[in-house]
Amino acid sequence: MAVEAPERRAVRPRPSGTIAYFSMEMALRPELPTYAGGLGVLAGDLLRSAADLGLPMVGITLLHRQGYFAQRLGPDGEQREEAAAWSPDDWLQTTGARCRVQVEGRPVTVRAWRHDVEGIDGARVPVFLLDTDVPENGDRDRRLTDVLYGGDDRYRLAQEVVLGIGGVRMLRALGYTDVRRYHLNEGHSALLALELFAEEIARTPERPAEAAQRVKRACVFTTHTPVPAGHDQFPLTLVRAVLGQSALDTLRILGCCEASLNMTEVALELSHYVNGVARRHGEVSRTMFPGYPIGSITNGVHSVTWAAPAFRALYDRFIPDWRRNSFALRYACAIPLDDVRLAHAEAKARLVEEVNAATGAGFDRHHLTLAWARRATGYKRPALLLHDPERLVRIARRHGPLQIVFAGKAHPRDEPGKAAIRAVLAAARTLPPVVKVVYLPNYAVRLARLFTAGVDVWVNSPKPPYEASGTSGMKAAHNGVPSLSVLDGWWWEGAVEGVTGWSIGSCQRAETGERTDAEDAAELYRILDEHVAPLYHAGGSGWTELMRSTIALNASFFNSQRMLEEYIAQAYRDA
């Protein structure tokens, strides 16, 4: 019997004018390698929800002709990177719009390609992808937008000139005269504030302080990382060479450029609203950047995108309004348990088929299956689950076979991340058949959809407090998959012990960060041994009840519709 959900929650009054959303990466379609990971996937989900809500928004990003990279894993676990080339003509529309920016004193021509994100009722959010591969530019400048997060500091700064300064100029070239808010998704686009200031100071050259305040009222900044190395910084000699002395002088007038150019500090200084991406991350950010009023809006994921086909059909049957009202997933608590179980069985069968076709590992759809899948980097600790292989084997022999699927790319310059991949594969080679471990390369949206729907438990093992939010567990929750996670990021808010999953470590220890890998691994194994495996193998309804409550409590809140409505209420409203 379908649940009649109440009318969709009243959305806060819409802001007047258009919101321009800037992000270095955006996951627009699975076929387009214009994203590296969670930041880009989040951007795509926000744009999809904007289209669903009919919000006047436009997206600005770069066209990465070589993508991020295609990942190849050698027999020894060594990651190799290859270009992920694609053809924009196959997926995007040309616009004919052009603008110019200055890079190292040279004029660089930028053109825009268009992709429309379509909402549930047909509303569209246009996204413009900026491209310097035009005949007017020299060979070096034609490559400026090719590789996402590639090259050296000079290349990265030049890309940020194209995104920030070029993005504003392109909006003008496209006829966007009503932009009221500029949303900076991370600091990569912070130079847009410099261009806005140039526009304002041209109108009132005698009142620079007022011009700066007008820029500040227009800008919104979302910071995503509590890791200091994640905030772009450039030496002043490089800033002078790439941007020119005049731009450097302007940045100094704005109080944004002293020992170096820190893009996060530019965005903090010139935005009227700043937020972290989870409550805990907001606290950490206020510690990192004292003196700035940093709030928090917890991330969410696009419900229709991340619910697997079997679960979409399930929700259509029992919660007819869920596609327009993600909060209606609260009523998943009334879905019959057998229907939840069957939907998961279908999703798990698809994952097992994919794993076996790719690896020949012989996964079994009846065995307890765990996943660790996200960017491979040191603080995310991918190898924690295999810290004590002998303990893992004992658990499997006591309760039943275990299957673990890993995936994730390490940045080409992240040697600790690459070492972590090697460590996972080295440990996997020592395990007997009762614990099967695979590492699938090229983790991206297509694989993420299979993983987050098809596994039984989603594992997240970051070193606190370095997980800003994390969204993969939210995607899993949309498919009834509980999390087994260190208390950090979104899990501070989503964890209901034994109801939506299990937590590794206490709140107090997570706050202080006083925890070792060995301690966290031991806690993980204890939970797996005492709670997860026994419940999974017990039979009866206990496991399916856990899945259903995960949907009702976590999917209903940690979605991008709720997230966007918070941005409308807190960040996009008229300042």
In the numeric block, which tokens belong to residue 214?
């007008």
pLDDT tens, residue by residue, 88-136:
999 999 999 999 999 999 999 999 999 999 999 999 999 999 999 999 9
In the numeric block, which tokens belong to residue 501?
């999953």
φ/ψ of 27, rounded to 5, equals -90, 95
Report how far apart, in Å, the C-alpha atoms of 436 and of each of 384, 467, 483 are: 16, 28, 20
CB within 8 Å of 152: residues ≥ 6 apart = none
* Cα distance from N-terminal residue to C-terminal residue, the chain: 46
Q: Do domains 18-300+563-572 and 305-558 have the same CATH topology?
A: yes
User: Can you tell me the distance from the alpha carbon of 534 to that of 31, in angstroms, rounded to the nearest whole number?
Assistant: 40
The one-letter amino acid at 224:
H
Looking at every residue in the chain, the average pLDDT score rounds to 94
User: Can you tell me the distance from the alpha carbon of 79 to that of 466, in angstroms, rounded to the nearest whole number?
Assistant: 24
Radius of gyration of the chain (CA): 24
Instruction: Provide the CA 68 distance to its chain's centre, in angstroms.
Output: 15
CB within 8 Å of 572: residues ≥ 6 apart = 15, 19, 181, 183, 220
DSSP 34-73: ---SHHHHHHHHHHHHHHHHT--EEEEEE--TT-S-EEEE
Secondary structure (3-state) at 75: coil
Q: Are strands 260-262 and 233-235 parallel, antiparallel or unpaired?
A: antiparallel
Residue 251 near residue 242, CB atoms below 8 Å:
no
What is the biggest distance separating any 2 CA atoms in the chain, rounded to whole angstroms?
A: 77
CB within 8 Å of 176: residues ≥ 6 apart = 18, 20, 58
Residue 61 near residue 130, CB atoms below 8 Å:
yes
User: Can you tell me the distance from the alpha carbon of 219 to that of 280, in angstroms, rounded to the nearest whole number?
Assistant: 23
Report how far apart, in Å, the C-alpha atoms of 111 and of each of 93, 129, 460, 561 are: 12, 8, 40, 31
What is the 3-class SS of 122-183, one letter each residue? CCEEEEEEEECCCCCCCHHHHCCCCCCCCCCHHHHHHHHHHHHHHHHHHHHHCCCCCEEEEE
Residue 70 pLDDT: 96
User: Can you tell me the distance from the alpha carbon of 481 to that of 454, in angstroms, rounded to the nearest whole number?
Assistant: 8
Q: Where are the domains of the chain?
A: 18-300+563-572, 305-558
Task: Name the burial class of residue 538, with classes exposed (0-12), middle (13-18) and buried (19+) by CB atoms within 10 angstroms of its CB.
Answer: exposed
User: Can you tell me the distance from the alpha carbon of 178 to that of 466, in angstroms, rounded to the nearest whole number?
Assistant: 38
Residue 9 pLDDT: 47
Helix 560-567 × helix 38-53 angle, to 10°: 80
Percentage of the chain beyond pLDDT 70 is 95
Q: Are strands 18-23 and 57-62 parallel, antiparallel or unpaired?
A: parallel
Residue 562 near residue 46, CB atoms below 8 Å:
no
H helix or E strand, kind and range, residue 102 = strand 93-103
Task: Name the burial class of residue 103, with classes exposed (0-12), middle (13-18) and buried (19+) by CB atoms within 10 angstroms of its CB.
Answer: buried
Residue 11 near residue 565, CB atoms below 8 Å:
yes
Q: Which residues pair with 82 in a beta bridge?
A: 70
Residue 466 near residue 378, CB atoms below 8 Å:
no
CATH homologous superfamily for the domain 18-300+563-572? Glycogen Phosphorylase B; (3.40.50.2000)
User: Can you tell me the distance from the alpha carbon of 301 to that of 452, in angstroms, rounded to the nearest whole number?
Assistant: 12
Residue 10 pLDDT: 44
Strand residue runs (E) in 250-401: 260-262, 273-276, 294-296, 368-373
The one-letter amino acid at 262:
N
Q: Tell me which residue of 156, 154, 192, 149 sits closest to 58, measured CA to CA.
A: 192
DSSP 314-342: HHHHH-TTTTT-GGGGGGGGGS-HHHHHH
What phi-psi label fits residue 122: left (phi over 0), alpha (psi between -120 and 50 degrees) or beta?
left
Secondary structure (3-state) at 527: helix
Q: Which residues pair with 114 in a beta bridge?
A: 93, 128
Q: Tell me which residue of 73, 77, 57 sits closest to 17, measured CA to CA.
A: 57
> Locate tokens 């966290």: which residue?
520
Q: Tell me which residue of 222, 212, 200 sits closest to 251, measured CA to CA.
A: 212
Residue 232 pLDDT: 85
CATH topology classification for 305-558: Rossmann fold (3.40.50)
Which parts of the chain have pLDDT scores under 50? 6-11
Specify the DSSP class assigned to residue 16.
Answer: S
Q: In what order do the strands lie in the sheet with 501-504?
A: 435-440, 402-407, 368-373, 457-460, 483-486, 501-504
> Locate tokens 């890998």: which residue?
517
Whole-structure pTM value: 0.95
Residue 158 near residue 142, CB atoms below 8 Å:
no
pLDDT tens, residue by residue, 470-487:
999 999 999 999 999 999
The one-letter amino acid at 242:
V
Q: Tell me which residue of 83, 60, 61, 62 sits closest to 71, measured CA to CA.
A: 83
